[in-house]
Amino acid sequence: MRLIDLVAPSSSPAWYLRSFRCGIVSVCDAEADELLNGARAATVPAQRYGLFTQAAQRMDDQQLFIALTAPIRWSLVSTQMQGFANNRFATHTLVGLRQRPDRDRGE
């Protein structure tokens, strides 16, 4: 077993599904790999998504992944910080953030 604690860098299921390819892990499904190869070659988004869905279903059926917990996302941001917004990739740049003037200091 291997514990994976990473945030996907995109909204595509490809990142997650590639983690279970036969060239990467010993417990895998060769037919799911073929579906992923087909998805990579697909030029029609609906077809690509359909192949990803089929590959994910095969991996679920083979129990290649066991979810231990539900994903949790949280942020600790000062209430004085303006411009902060959660995002699905759990990365936050400092661009656009502004600290409010401190009223106690007369700013």
* Contacting residues for 3 by C-beta, under 8 A, at least 6 apart: 68
Whether pTM exceeds 0.85: no
In the predicted model, what is the mean pLDDT of the chain? 78
CB-based burial of residue 59 (10 Å sphere; 0-12 exposed, 13-18 middle, 19+ buried)? Answer: buried
Q: Tell me the average pLDDT across 84-107.
A: 62
Residues 24-53 have a mean pLDDT of: 93
Share of the chain above pLDDT 90, in %: 29
- What does the pLDDT read at residue 78? 75
In this prediction, residue 101 has a pLDDT band, given cuts at 50, 70 and 90, of: low
Tokens representing 34 are 């073929």
pLDDT digits (tens, 9 = 90+) for 44-56: 999 999 999 999 9
Q: Residue 16 — left, alpha, or beta (φ > 0 → left; ψ -120 to 50 → alpha)?
A: alpha
- Tell me the Cα Rg of the chain: 20
Question: Side-chain half-sphere of 98: how many Cα atoms within 13 Å?
Answer: 5
